[in-house]
Structure 1
Amino acid sequence: MNKINTLDTLITRFQQQKPIRASSLVITLYGDTIEPHGGTVWLGSLIKLLEPMGINERLMRTTIFRLTQDGWLTSDKVGRKSYYSLTGSGRRKFEQAFRRVYSANQTVWDGSWCLIMTQQLSAEERKQLLDDLNWQGFGVLTGQLIGSPNTNLSDVNTVLASSGLQSKVIVFKTHQQEELAGRQVRMMVRECWELDKLGAHYQEFINLFRPVWQELDEKDNLDPESCFLTRTLLIHEYRKLLLRDPQLPEELLPGDWEGKAARQLCRNIYRKITPATEKWLEKNLESADGPLPEASQAFYQRFGGLN
């Protein structure tokens, strides 16, 4: 079996984070690996899986306890063993992010914008609304005007209703116009959404994982554990980037947008190492009913289809 030598660099980089973001990595593990295989896993399996990344048993137990206290995980005890699953609210929290990670293509933009006037909101209310609408690509266009080219009114109204701000804002939906994707608008988008900074983060991702792809492209018969660890760190780093990415339409992005290359690189690596990863999981993860079930059919649709 051929181990992935560039994995050492990825693990070292993860371990150098202070403090180690064990909770975030566990959420990545659930979204990428455990949910497609039934959603429930024995704590002992989790400890074994992430130990090579520097997360020892004590840290793992503390992490799982905190995620349970925060409403992300729930546990069932069978004999002396504890099995953990995402709660309903925990699943809803990450589903939108993970749909972005694995989607095949960006939706086609119809040229319209959703604009919200927020002058009646307090600074705190405005910040909270922007945080709540971040997933829908909203950004600050001026001090009291926020907008997104990537949403629909029903989604916006759902957020406004849940936050109780419907009577305090004015919402507009523009019609398609050529100038809405013109040069001036693209310059505004680049500044308002800080695309240069986001592009630099994507370039860091490319620089980190390009050597991994170059190594994988020359190897077959890959070591399953190396593949599992690499895939977990790959999706962990890519997911963090997508949390910052407003997912703007391609028409509003720079022609040499780094996010496009990063996505292609992530997809190539994921497809290459998934078969060996799945073999590793079958042998090393345990649910209350025995070995983890096979991955769902939806899993094999990730990134437009896995081999």
Structure 2
Amino acid sequence: MSRGTFKLDPLELPQEQPAKVAKVLDHPAPRATRFIVTIYGDVVAPRGGTLWMGTLISVCAVHGISESLVRTAVSRLVGGGQLEGDRIGRKSYYRLTEASSRDFARVGQLFYDPPSAPQGWYVAIGHRPDSAGWARLGSQAAIAPARADIDRPEGALMRADTYSGLQDLRAFAADSWPVSEAAKAYRAFIERFDVLSDTVAELPGQLALALRLQAIHQYRQAVLSDPRLPIDALPSDWPGQDAARLFARLYLQLAPQSDAQIARSFADARGVLMAETDQTKARLKSLSKTATA
């Protein structure tokens, strides 16, 4: 089998909530390349950026991803400039490149320390930017949410606020950005993981980490599909905030067992990885704010 479902063995399913946990895990195996990115982003990046290939193979096997798929995915990530490898004796270690470390930090902030919703809009006049986040306003203008990460083109650029016509604005936003796709992804995350609320505090370490990685992986896909528009442009039943609070609560509940499991079973060339670092502590502090927002 090259790509299958989640493997419960050798995980010990808790007797108190077996149906709920099993429901969350009863999904096809994730795509190897994307899931490896999830592992590096959550576990490896804040702990030095390097991981032994043997650890990666073992972790992915629990999630139904075969060794051959792991090796193929790692080769692709190396070819794409995201990872680079070292061989020490008979063991191979792969670390984040300098460029991918910066990218991981930028993307990770979106779900570990999410920024506030943008206030207002940028309007470019006389040209139509082709960079991400911009939508056309006829042939000679474009509009984008006023966020710090939006590329601002040269030429006439203005700031705008919404004063009226919210229904028209929401209709335009739905036609111009993937609002419905992001909402669907957020709702799918909530539907899958909401059953775990208040039931994960005492799970075994390997199972806690597996659930955390699954939650991060699915939530990450939802966040990356989110156009991050001003609140006025979003539907009144927008699920993004509920998904963010659920993700934060689950992460915080799973963190103690997950981080202890990392310190037992994840290794780089120097030995096992640390359970906590300044970066992981900062993530928990930020997520605590999101969980109660």
TM-score for both structures, normalised by structure 1:
0.79
5 Å matches for 1:195-274? 195-213=179-197, 217-218=198-199, 220-274=201-255
Match of 2:28 among 14, 21, 35: 14
* SS of aligned partner of 1:156: coil
Give 1:180 deviation, angstroms: 6.8
Paired residue for 2:142?
A: 146
* Worse-matched range after superposition: 44-53 or 189-198: 189-198
Q: Whose helix fraction is larger, Structure 1's or Structure 2's? A: 1
**TM-fit CA distance, 1:84:** 0.8
CA 248–279 in structure 1, closer or farther in 2 if over 3 Å, else same: same
The answer as to whether partners of 1:224 and 1:279 remain within 8 angstroms in 2 is: yes
Aligned twin of 1:86: 96
Alpha-carbon contact 2:179-2:227 (below 8 Å) kept? no
Root-mean-square deviation (CA, aligned residues, Å) is: 2.7
Q: CA deviation at 1:301?
A: 2.5
Distance 1:7 1:118, change over 3 A: farther
> Separation in 1 of the partners of 2:181 and 2:87?
46
Structure 2 unpaired stretches of 5+: 1-11
1:50 aligns with 2:31: no
Query: Match of 1:50, SS?
Result: helix
Question: Which residue in the other structure is 1:123 paired with?
Answer: none
1:1-307 counterparts in 2 under 5 A?
3=14, 5=18, 6-15=20-29, 21-107=31-117, 109=119, 111-115=120-124, 117-118=126-127, 129=130, 133-134=131-132, 137-142=133-138, 145-152=141-148, 156-157=151-152, 170-174=155-159, 176-179=160-163, 182-213=166-197, 217-218=198-199, 220-302=201-283, 304-305=286-287
Larger relative contact order (CA 8 Å, sep ≥ 6): 1
Report Cα offsets for 1:28-50 as digits up to 9, x if no partner. Answer: 11001111111111111111111
- Deviation for aligned residue 1:178: 5.0
Q: What is the number of equivalent residue pairs in this alignment?
A: 274
- Could you tell me how far apart the structure 2 residues matched to 1:283 and 1:101 are? 26
Q: Secondary structure at the match of 2:147?
A: coil
Unaligned runs of 5+ in 1: 120-125, 161-165
